Amino acid sequence: MCEAAISAATASLTRIAALPPEKRSINTTLLAFETAMADFSDATLPLTLMGYVYPDPTISAEGSACEEKAGMFAVSVITRRDLYDAIKNAVPRTPEESRLLKETLRQFRKNGLALPDDGLACVRSLKEQLTKLEVEFTANLNNDTSSVEFSGAELDGVPKEALATFTQTDSGVYRVTTKYPDYIPVMQNAKDVGTRKRLYTAFVNRQAEANTRLLTGAIEVRRQCAKELGYASWADYRLDGRMAKSTGTVLAFLDELKEPLREKIRHDLAALLTLKKELEPGAGRVEPWDLAYLTEQERKRKYALDDEAIRKYFPFERVVQGMFGCFGPLFGIRFAEVTGANVWAEGVKLYRIINLEDDRTLAYIYFDMFPRDGKYGHMMMVPLIAGRATGAGYTVPVTAIVGNFRAPNSDIPSLLTHDDVEGLFHEFGHALHGSLTRAPYASLAGSSVEWDFVETPSQALENWAWEPAVLDTVSGNYANPKEKLPAPLRDRIIAARDLGAGLKYTRMLVISTEDMTFHTADGPVDVTGIADRIYEDLMGIPPLEGGHEPATIGHFMGGYDAGYYSYIWAEVYALNIFARFKKDGLFNTATGTAYRHWILEQGNMQDGTELLRGFLEKEPGMDVFYERLHIRLPAADPSGKGSGLGSS
């Protein structure tokens, strides 16, 4: 199927490139190219997903192989001079066609089409090398089987519900994997510091040797590619066409955050050290493997919160239906499960999104939410079929949300923590962005927006997961669905939101700074050494000696290279969006309609800055971010430039 898709696309593209000049028009060149590549994506994205989710390792390997082939093919297409020459002189007739032409030509030029033939050949070769490195890195993490064996005594403090999900050997020893459903309960609850350190060591050393080599190689290939294309660095190359526009803007943005977050994390670490000294008299500092444990213990003490007690109020199906009930009316849609749908594994469900106004099917979403061997280990939204205008009408987009919540068993359904609920809302925000798009072109539809805008709709939706009315709607005791999350418990969950905020956002700043340091370097990069130095500088504690955490961060090789900053950047925008909903009303349908129009439907038909201005009816600002974190605003920039967030 993958080969057939490549063959079909190749034939279509060859026809476009072979057109004599007198037969070239915007229909026969630009729009034909757009259609051929959209058809190709629709055919191959579902296949490549199987590399992340399919239970049979043979089929999964085929999916990974297809991802590599499709990536290589995409590189070959976007470096074809004959296609570029056929398209570059197209004359757009509408603003929409002008936008498509501008963005299409930008991609060609960013792949070497402004270079002479030898330069183009070099860029093509480098891009092909990069695709191989990235696919292998990702496959290594997906297929990683790292685990640590512990006795029952070594797991003292870990909830029995979590213990019941661990594999036990014949001798009764527990095998704990480094996948999140195993890792998090142990890191948050195991009393034995040795247990936590051993598991943390395994976690930050997943695929250490192989992936460190692959990441280092990829950074060097990226540097060479950027230089060949005339950019000062890979970061400058990646930021061409994004909201931030320049490396300087991103570095200024990250620099602006450093001192406020240092103040915040110093406060967090001081509180955790006080608690650690109670538990371990004589303790001198907090270690990386203490952070999750001490934060969880402080959460239990200060707010009387226990994830296992909270879980019983958030059965997965109840949360999903409650989420549909909150956002459906707000955005003018409803959801219906597709019974008997063909799915790739047991437990996967398919939902249809229906327009309330005219009962029209708008999109489909798959939910694949429980762990299994060989499956992608984190959470993600995957576009499978893009929205686009065709002669037969607008296509029906298809997306998938892939997660790893605690699996149900024969007696108890899948039960979520509140963090899980927030994570589900996040991915659902991505899915709605892909599902409700009305952009006419697949390459500019849904979440195919500027990279530093792509997280805005997902992070905006997270905020609803902290609202009392929403928590009431999505909760219900699995043993008695009418029993909602008790108000005192609900209010304590909300009050605890800021616990560890300094750790959370400093961690994001650490990875963002590593990312920009890697991708602005003008020579070979020691990824582990750089990461360790930045971690200690910003976190204020030394990293694990002998750890290789960059080898475990899939974002560096999964599209977020020179783009990790966008999580914090986009959250600032998301908080601006949520502030309007708070002002107008969380479920104000007029505001929901405006949000659907300006943010969810437009795709990349306008710059993200313009879309935000359209919805907010003002410039976005940093003030909501600092207010959200209860940290003092930094002193005014005497240059008046600041981070450039609102004006970029």
Cα atoms in the 13 Å half-sphere on the side-chain side of 63:
24
Burial 581-614 (b: 16+ CB within 10 A, else e): beeeebbeeebbebbbebbbbbbbbbbbbebbbe
The residue length of the chain stands at 648
pLDDT digit string, tens, across residues 21-64: 999 999 999 999 999 999 999 999 999 999 999 999 999 999 99
The answer regarding whether domain 311-466 maps to CATH 1.10.15.40 reads no
Q: Are strands 361-368 and 398-402 parallel, antiparallel or unpaired?
A: parallel
Sign, CA torsion 519/521/527/529: negative
3-class state of residue 629 by DSSP: helix
pLDDT digit string, tens, across residues 585-621: 999 999 999 999 999 999 999 999 999 999 999 999 8
Q: Is the pLDDT confidence value at 82 over 60? A: yes
Q: Is 220 a catalytic residue?
A: no
pLDDT digit string, tens, across residues 537-575: 999 999 999 999 999 999 999 889 999 999 999 999 999
3-state secondary structure 164-191: CCCEECCCCCEEEECCHHHHHHHHHHCC
Compute the average pLDDT of residues 317-343. 97
pTM for this model (two decimals): 0.86
CB 387 within 8 A of CB 394: yes
For the chain, the structural domain boundaries read 2-114, 145-192, 311-466
Compute the average pLDDT of residues 285-292. 96
Q: What are the structure tokens assigned to 101, written together?
A: 């032409």
CB 560 within 8 A of CB 515: yes
Distance CA 245, CA 266 (A): 32
Distance CA 37, CA 9 (A): 7
Task: Identify the pLDDT of residue 75.
Answer: 87
Distance CA 114, CA 100 (A): 19
CB 155 within 8 A of CB 186: yes
CB 624 within 8 A of CB 579: yes
Q: Which pLDDT band, with edges at 50, 70 and 90, does 500 fall under?
A: confident
Q: Which pLDDT band, with edges at 50, 70 and 90, does 153 fall under?
A: very high
pLDDT digit string, tens, across residues 402-457: 999 999 988 899 999 999 999 999 999 999 999 999 999 999 999 999 989 999 99
Task: Identify the pLDDT of residue 373.
Answer: 87
In the set 97, 220, 298, 427, the catalytic residue is: 427
3-class state of residue 158 by DSSP: coil
Q: Are strands 349-355 and 361-368 parallel, antiparallel or unpaired?
A: antiparallel
Task: Identify the pLDDT of residue 631.
Answer: 78
High-pLDDT (> 90) share of the chain, %: 89
Architecture of domain 2-114: Up-down Bundle (1.20)
3-class state of residue 392 by DSSP: coil
